[in-house]
Amino acid sequence: MVTDLNDLQSASLIINTFNSQLHLTFTTIAGDNLAASEIAGLQQTFSSGYFSWRCLITYKNRLMPIMCVGAGTRSWYVEYDSTGLTAIWYTNSFYTCYAINGTCWSNQGLLSSVSSDQQPITRSAGISTDYYLRLRHAAALLILGILFVAFGLIASVFLMLPSGKIKIFNGRLNILTAFLLAVAALFQRAALSEGARGLNHNGYSGDLYHTGHALTIAAIPLCAFVAGRIPL
């Protein structure tokens, strides 16, 4: 296909003008992932290896960037004006941004920088103080959830090493990956519950973290099954 496209560009379509010729040139090729990967000479399977064009992340580590992006980006909660079209505030568990001029504060700093009646969601000093304390707790739990996912991924790497050459885990320790992911899922659920007591997500950041949470839960029985199939 690449050869045909090159031939089409170099020889097939030529438009004669008064004193020159116009040749066909490709600037953009539209296609789905499979077609575009075939034309570009990239891998054509998206369930293993380096499956993304935009970042060097392997399929087995896909949980990590989803959750990190979800926890770190600002669009966890978006507050709009009365028309519902223009965003005014962006908030997550760590910081809040004023969309009009792009100014951002840590949630602790916002408490002393912006009056409570002008802050997103909160409208009184007492509610504001309790609200941001809960967000600090949620932020800590979010980080712990991500760390335990990282520990689980590291354990899964050792679990997949050929047992004939290097045998890191023995017997019941083979279940360590599933255990770490289960602990990660508990911290993630606790973070979402604590944050939801004051901040319900309506942006893509929260959706990404929820997706990472669901994938973590789905990985637990899979890792447990694999651990049970490893010969002692």
DSSP secondary structure letters along 221-232: HHHHHHHHHS--
Q: How confident is the model at residue 157 (pLDDT cuts 50, 70, 90)?
A: confident
pLDDT band, very low/low/confident/very high, at 176 (cuts 50, 70, 90): confident
Q: Is the pLDDT of residue 133 over 70?
A: yes
The percentage of the chain sitting over the pLDDT mark of 90, rounded to a whole number, equals 9
Give the contacts of 211 (CB within 8 A, at least 6 positions apart): 66, 70
Q: Are 54 and 203 in contact (CB under 8 A)?
A: no
Give the list of residues 6+ apart from residue 33 with CB closer than 8 angstroms, or none: 46
What is the mean pLDDT of the segment spanning 193-216?
83
What does the alpha-carbon distance between residue 206 and residue 92 come to, in Å, rounded to a whole number? 8
Closest listed residue to residue 91, CA positions, set 80, 75, 105, 102: 75
Share of the chain residues as helix, strand and coil, in percent rounded to the nearest 5: 55, 10, 35
Q: How confident is the model at residue 216 (pLDDT cuts 50, 70, 90)?
A: very high
Mean pLDDT of 41-49: 71
Section 164-175 average pLDDT: 60
- Mean pLDDT, the chain, integer: 75
The whole-number pLDDT of residue 232 equals 56
N-term to C-term CA, the chain: 49
Of the two residues 104 and 2, the one the predictor is more confident about is 104
Decide if pLDDT at 144 tops 80.
yes
Mean predicted confidence (pLDDT) in 14-37: 71
pLDDT score recorded for residue 125: 55
Q: Considering the domain 62-229 in this protein, what is its CATH number?
A: 1.20.140
The domain locations on the chain are 1-60, 62-229
Average pLDDT, integer, range 197-224: 85
pTM: 0.62
Ranges 2-11, 71-80, 83-92: which has the least confidence: 2-11
Give the number of other CB atoms < 10 A from CB of residue 174. Answer: 23
Please give the average per-residue pLDDT across 206-232, as a whole number.
83
The residue type found at 53 is W
Where residue 166 falls among pLDDT bands split at 50, 70, 90? Answer: very low
Confidence of residue 170 (pLDDT cuts 50, 70, 90): low
Neighbours of 183 (CB within 10 A): 17
